Structure 1
Amino acid sequence: MKRQRIIGQSSALAFVLGISASLAAPPAVADDPQASKVRWGTCPEDVVAAAAPTELQCATVPVPVDYTDPEGTAIDLMLSRLASTNPDKRRGSLMLNPGGPGGSGLALPALLVARGLPADVLDSYDLIGMDTRGIGHSAPVTCGFTPDGPYTANIPPYAVDDAAVTARAKVAKQVAEQCERNDRNGLLRQLTTANTARDLDRIRAALGEEKTSYLGYSYGTALGAAYASMFPERSDRIVLDSNIGDTHLDRDGLRRYALGMEQSLPDFAKWAAARHDSYGLGRTPEQVRKTYFTLAERLDKAPVAGFDGSLLRQYTFSQLFKKMQYPKLAQQWQTLAGGDDTAARRLPTQNGTAGKAPSSIDNPLAVFAAVTCNDVEWPKNVDTYRHGVANDRERYPLFGAAAANITPCAFWPYAPAEPPVAVNDDGPRNVLLVQNLRDAPTPHDGGKMLRQKFADRSRLLSVDDTGHGAYVLGDNACALNTTTRYLVEGKMPGKDMLCRAG
């Protein structure tokens, strides 16, 4: 049986590391091009299928590969649109990003409609989805990753000891070299948050908008923060949901995944304890937590159906993203605890299928590695990760030895072309930060960090809930109402506020 994989949708977040000297930096902002009329037409078949029954329109907008050479090679970015049908209420475009980096956003307008995006928002905006540079239908990049290879997830495997970090370093080096070999057109090195923010401004101009509004989730908050910082006067109403804490994912950001899991697992443990008679994972939350450690350590020594302790830890982390996934997680623990290989093989993977085509993991993994590695310099010394793993194994025993482990960016062949985008607190008060109190990949600290950096430009809407994604993707009425009111009426909370549970 092929080793099962954990590859999240908007949540796939990996470890990134350092580079050396800088290249010539692109301009801080993209020059406003002549606004071209976007020609909307039929979307590709896969987008049509993913969006059904909602019907979207698609188009392409050209952008330069390298903003230091704006007249050089260009690539086409594919956009999708769900247009407002109420011209009296329409106020502009709302650009969307699902996160990643590496997540396709072309079907996101339809997903939000399916999840109940309020009609007032649909009236107020044309919803603009997109595949950002390097993703899907927008000049996709490749590293040649396959399901049978050693690199099938963005998050490093849990390192049980120093030797495991050393072993993973060899894989990380091979992966970085593999990406360099596959970067035949030089696009991989141009995948950065800053360049993608410049792309957003090209798209804004092509749409004929003086300003654009934006809704981004997870890594999409880093992209939105970068856009609002680089183009403050062209940013309209900005909503950043499930914040990673900056305009890029750095080593500290990845290590916060472990903090997020510590804060999120108690919600699952309480849920499972109340259902002990069905799943047998423990009668109290404390017993459920103990079951996790006991099962992980047992699988470290004797995997079941290819499921080892590292994979259990990653699987558990990913299933904490949504409360609706709790039954699936409990079933997985129960089956693995029984040690029945045949029963374990019948269980679905995270994405609900027993196998994935190579292309379905290659592109998102390649984009994630490129953006995170190109954005910021990370430590290169393997000992740095050994120490980090040892420390975080103690600090955050659930997942610390995974989130602190080494990734391909320690050996990335390209230096950052420019410093990461600095958050700009000099601009309009137009950034609403939305953050669940308990969120595995983006703990509440990320929202507080970005609130401090944006200062009076922002307000923080904290939500007493668990899971990844609060606006529309969650079920808190206060979070929904407050965010909708801002998008539709422009009413930003006068101060930071807490939405209570329920």
Structure 2
Amino acid sequence: MTGPRTIGRDRAAARASRPVAGTSPARTIRRCVLALALGMFSLGAAPSAPAVPRPADRLAWTPCVQPGGPGDQQCAEMSVPVDHREPGGARLSLRVTRLPSDRPAARRGVLLVAPGGPGGSGVEALAHRGPALRTALHGAYDLVSLDPRGVGGSDGSGCGLRADDRDVLAYRSWPGPGGDIRDSAARAHRTADACARNGGAVVRSYSTANEVRDIERLRRLLGTPRLSLYGVSYGTYVSATYAQLHPEHTDRTVLDSTDDPDPARVGRGWLARTAAGADERFPDFARWAADPARDRDGLRLARRPDGVRPRVLALADRLDRAPRTTDTPHKPLTGNLLRQAVQQALTDDAAFPDLARLIVAAEDPNAVPALPPGYATPVPDRDATVFLATLCNDVRWPRDVRGYARDVAADRLRHPLTAGQPVNVTPCAFWHGAPADRPVRITADGPPDVLMIQNLRDPTTPYAGALRMRKALGGRARLVTVDRGGHGVYLAHGNACGDRAVTEFLRTGHRPAADLRCPDRPAPVEKPRG
């Protein structure tokens, strides 16, 4: 474990001597699974860390080109207090990143890209999304982001969790067959205790409130009076919180794929709502899997869409009773692993073929099913810690295990695709210590400078949650609804109507006069001139 004493110095110096590492495909999949997991952890008292000298208030930018990313991406180290209430105490070094405008004459400001998660990397987000944003916005902004505490190139600590407690299915807190949550409760308690024992002040500092404080410090170091914000998934909650607390320093805010900001339901409500989200999204997969075009690849699962869901549910039930051997030793295909694969695939149409192949192989007695990427190895300790600790540090969660058992039993009947997992007990139920900050209430108080964009059938941040954010923001916001499924909207699927609305807002400040509904229609392909 790296203690706070070394966090701001030794590791930052070591990183300065090497390029930033890229992201392997398996790590990318793990981060996708992370984004779906939502919830968990526990903390106790830790020895106080000695104070370290306050560093100079400046950012020293150096090249940090990522594999497949733009050639002019830059990174710097930003020092922040572990506890902003004690600015002279222990510090962390955070990796921050930027893509300068490629059209200086058109530049109008700075756009911060707030990654999803909790646990998403801003360095990776800018490498992957930055070129498309730069092209769409015609150089109107310097694009900036950061790796939050504990993520990627930033300093942080883990909880020292057992490998089996970081397995995807354990980490997602799937109930046992039949809905038994005794193993889930024991694991959640064990995980919470590990964080209390090993996490220290650094893990206690993982929170939305501190990410917002770190963004405000970045704004000051950049020397810009106001930030525009583009948040995706969990990044929408971070962005909305920043805009609520710092309206005088906020320019234009885009929230892409949003959930309910109700302080009483942060984290727990986000996870619970994914059960209905999966039900709303699954018919898209069913239509795809019943299409006669699937016959040529052997992936047609039913003659009609209404036959796909019963087939998948029946297969999951059989795998509960008799798991199948897979291509990974000691890692069978269980009913819950199949359900997890379904939930993950619903985030993106591009994942539909691999899910259908898994279903076909699982039903073939002569086949050896291949596990989806990222399912064979545990989630890295630090990744799991950041995600879970952020949610547990943000708000209090109910502690009554019997209440979770009742919720699981009811949810399994209402939403068999997710089998009670979204409402199961998590380590947050046993978290040690109260949240250091009260969650911010998002309100209609503030300038009308917010544009929301949302898929109608999003399994991860379902539409009902976005409507709650829209209601909370009142006249400050407009909502652009795109009639399609999946998670993530702007510049993701070529929807001309939705992309145009966001681009125009960020470039000109013009929003639709009222909430807008966009059909699922791709942008026209421009014919070459000449």
TM-score by length of 2: 0.84
CA distance, structure 2, for counterparts of residue 19 and residue 143 of structure 1: 9
Give the structure 1 partner of residue 368 of structure 2: 343
Residue 41 in structure 1 maps to residue 62 in structure 2: yes
The answer to whether 1:7 aligns with 2:30 is yes
CA RMSD between the two structures:
2.5
Q: Distance in 1 between matches of 2:33 and 2:241?
A: 18
Q: Does 1:190 align with 2:219?
A: no
SS in 1 for 2:168: coil
8 A contact 2:188–2:425 mirrored in 1: yes
- Counterparts in 2 of 1:93-172, with a 5 A limit? 93-113=110-130, 116-117=132-133, 119-145=135-161, 147-149=163-165, 151-152=167-168, 154-162=171-179, 164-172=180-188
Q: How does 1:30-109 map to 2 (within 5 A)?
A: 36-43=57-64, 48-109=65-126
The answer to whether the 8 A contact 1:425-1:455 is kept is yes
Amino acid at match of 1:313: R
Distance (Å, rounded) in 2 between the aligned partners of 1:50 and 1:122: 23
Q: How does 1:179-258 map to 2 (within 5 A)?
A: 179-184=195-200, 186-246=201-261, 249-258=266-275
The one-letter amino acid paired with 1:367 is: V
1:27 alignment counterpart:
none
- The one of the two structures with greater contact order (alpha-carbon pairs below 8 A, sep at least 6) is 1
Structure 2 residue identity aligned to 1:290: P
Compute the displacement of 1:130 (Å): 1.3
| Equivalent position of 1:326 in the other structure | 352
Partner Cα distance (1:339, 1:410) in 2: 41
Residues in 1 aligned to 2:167 and 2:435: alpha-carbon distance in whole angstroms: 23
Q: Does residue 270 of structure 1 match 2:270?
A: no
Name the structure 2 match of 1:435: 454
Paired residue type of 2:282:
L
| 1:279/1:37 CA distance change after superposition, 3 Å | same
Q: Shift of residue 54 of structure 1?
A: 3.7
User: How many residues were matched structurally?
Assistant: 473
Distance 1:177 1:152, change over 3 A: farther
Match of 1:176 among 192, 210, 222: 192
Output the CA distance in 1 between the equivalents of 2:317 and 2:235. Answer: 35
What is the CA distance between 1:120 and its match in structure 2? 4.5
Query: 1:404: how far off?
Result: 1.0
SS at match of 1:62: strand
Q: Is the 8 A contact 2:69 2:128 kept in 1?
A: no
Question: What is the CA-CA distance between 1:143 and the residue it aligns to?
Answer: 2.0
Letter in 2 for 1:259: A
Deviations 1:33-90 (A, max 9, x none): 99933210132xxxx3445354311001111111221222221111111110212111
State how 1:282-431 maps to structure 2 within 5 Å.
Answer: 282-305=302-325, 306-340=332-366, 343-344=368-369, 347-351=370-374, 355-356=376-377, 361-431=380-450
Q: Secondary structure at 1:63's aligned position in 2? A: strand
Change (3 A) 1:387 1:15: farther
CA 1:15 to 1:411, structure 2 compared with 1: closer, same or farther past 3 Å?
farther
Moved over 4 A (4+): 17-21, 146-151
The amino acid that maps onto 1:301 is R
Amino acid of the residue matched to residue 87 of structure 2? Answer: P
Q: CA deviation at 1:179?
A: 1.9
Structure 2 gaps, min length 5: 1-27, 45-53, 326-331, 522-530
Q: Which residue identity is paired with 1:475?
A: G
Maintained 8 Å contact 2:62/2:74: yes
Code of the aligned partner of 1:406: V
DSSP 3-state at the match of 2:420: helix
Q: Does 1:497 align with 2:520?
A: no
Q: Deviations over 1:305-336 (max 9, x none)?
A: 21100111111100111111111111111111
What is the CA–CA distance in structure 2 between the aligned matches of 1:254 and 1:102, rounded to whole Å?
A: 16
Bigger shift: residues 288-297 or 124-133: 124-133
Q: In the aligned structure 2, how far is the partner of 1:103 from the partner of 1:137?
A: 12
Q: d(CA) in 1 for partners of 2:70 and 2:491?
A: 19
Q: Percent identity?
A: 38
What is the distance in 1 between the residues matched to 2:256 and 2:162? 32
Q: Between 51-60 and 165-174, report the one with greater CA deviation.
A: 51-60
Secondary structure of 1:227's match? helix
Cα 1:155–1:244 change in 2 (3 A) is: farther
The amino acid of 2:413's aligned partner reads E
- For 1:134 and 1:384, the matched residues in 2 are separated by 32
CA distance in 2, matches of 1:199, 1:207: 12
Amino acid of the residue matched to residue 38 of structure 1?
L
The residue type equivalent to 2:307 in the other structure is: Q
Q: Give 3-state SS (helix, strand or coil) of 2:32's partner.
A: coil
C-alpha distance in 1 between matches for 2:55 and 2:431: 36
| Partner SS, residue 276 of structure 2 | helix
Equivalent position SS for 1:224:
helix
SS in 1 for 2:391: helix
Deviation at 1:425, TM superposition (A): 2.0
Bigger Cα displacement from structure 2, 153-162 vs 164-173: 153-162
> Contact 1:102–1:363 (CA<8 Å) still a contact in 2?
no
- Distance in 2 (CA, whole Å) between partners of 1:376 and 1:464 is 33
- Is this contact kept in 2: 1:11–1:441, CA < 8 A? no
Change (3 A) 1:181 1:152: farther
- CA shift at 1:118, angstroms? 5.4
In the aligned structure 1, how far is the partner of 2:165 from the partner of 2:419? 24
Q: Against the structure 1 CA distance between its residues 143 and 339, is the aligned structure 2 distance closer, same or farther, given a 3 Å change threshold?
A: farther
Structure 2 residue matching 1:107: 3-state secondary structure: helix
Structure 1 distance, partners of 2:221, 2:432, is 34
Q: Is the 8 A contact 2:92 2:156 kept in 1?
A: no
Q: What's the TM-score once normalised by structure 1's chain length?
A: 0.89
CA distance, structure 1, for counterparts of residue 289 and residue 315 of structure 2: 15
Q: CA shift at 1:6, angstroms?
A: 7.6
Q: What SS does the aligned partner of 1:462 have?
A: strand
Q: Structure 1: which 5+ residue stretches go unaligned?
A: 22-32
SS in 2 for 1:397: coil
